[in-house]
Amino acid sequence: MNDRSITEHECIIEALLFASDHPLSFNTLMSLVGNIDAARLQSVIAALRRRYDQNGHSFQIIEIAGGYQMCTRPRYARWIKELYRDRNSVRLSKPALETLAVIAYRQPVVRTDVEAIRGVNIEGVLKTLLQRNLITIRGRKKAPGRPLLYGTTDEFLRYFGLNRISDLPTREELKSLIEADEPTEEVVTDHDHPVEQISGPAFGDLTAPGGSAHSEGTSAGERPASDAARAPGR
């Protein structure tokens, strides 16, 4: 394979990542590019990353939600926030974050188990998380009534800037994130209706037996939508 072919592959992958509004998996890139093996694709992605780093570009390629995505570097977040300052910012409320935390660490989990941990009814918050595609139904539990099982989605990973579920922060890091978001009072759905606000303990039994707490990983506060916005022009 000559240098011209390698350069063409770099341009194709760069164009695909620039044009996509969501992460592209390794297999998807292989399928779209065609006539390229896994080793070459890895080499091309690495070459693009080096080029962006060496030339001081304001954007980069990151691994997120099990795929690759082009985004701006965190240092330029203040200017990008200024660009979008007039747009309504939709953030998760503290109750929604607490509910999402329990589901993320104990998935797949049924609603009654989440409510037992939080000590409150989560019907409204659960509906909002489903509407936001941050959680999804993972099947039914083999128990009386066959209750629905809930788990997180790729959009959850993307929202919190994670590549895989094993990158979840520790319980202490997650508590710090929720405390930082405490001024937020409500979740606004796609229909602009406030979600019922509820409160209660969220972490007392989060990593108890049956849970799946993980070791140190990517900070959940770093999102492509804020600190690392997608490349201009999308």
Closest CA to 130 of 114, 117, 119, 146: 114
Q: CATH no. for residue 117?
A: 1.10.10.10
Residue 112 within any structural domain of the chain:
yes
The answer to whether residues 126 and 27 belong to one domain is no
The pLDDT, as a whole number, for residue 95 is 92
Residue 177 within any structural domain of the chain:
yes
The answer to whether residues 8 and 114 belong to one domain is no
Question: Which residues form the domain of 22?
Answer: 3-83
**Alpha carbon of 122 to those of 10, 53, 90, 116, 158: distances in Å?**
47, 45, 19, 10, 23
Residue 36 within any structural domain of the chain:
yes
Domain boundary among 40, 63, 83: 83
| Distance of alpha carbon 146 from alpha carbon 139, whole angstroms | 9
The answer to whether residues 164 and 117 belong to one domain is yes
Helix, strand, coil abundance in the chain, percent, nearest 5:
45, 10, 45
The answer to whether residues 107 and 65 belong to one domain is no
The answer to whether residues 126 and 10 belong to one domain is no
Digitized pLDDT (tens) for each residue of the chain, 234 residues in all: 444 445 899 999 999 999 999 999 999 999 999 989 999 999 999 999 999 999 999 999 999 999 999 999 999 999 998 888 776 556 888 999 999 999 999 999 999 999 999 999 999 999 999 999 999 999 999 999 999 999 999 999 998 889 999 898 877 776 776 676 554 433 333 333 333 332 333 333 443 333 333 333 333 333 343 334 444 434
The answer to whether residues 127 and 219 belong to one domain is yes
The answer to whether residues 75 and 102 belong to one domain is no
Domain boundary among 37, 67, 83: 83
CB 89 within 8 A of CB 183: no
The pLDDT, as a whole number, for residue 28 is 96
Residue 233 within any structural domain of the chain:
no
| Distance of alpha carbon 71 from alpha carbon 226, whole angstroms | 10
Q: How many structural domains is the chain composed of? A: 2
Q: Is 139 left (phi over 0), alpha (psi -120 to 50) or beta?
A: left
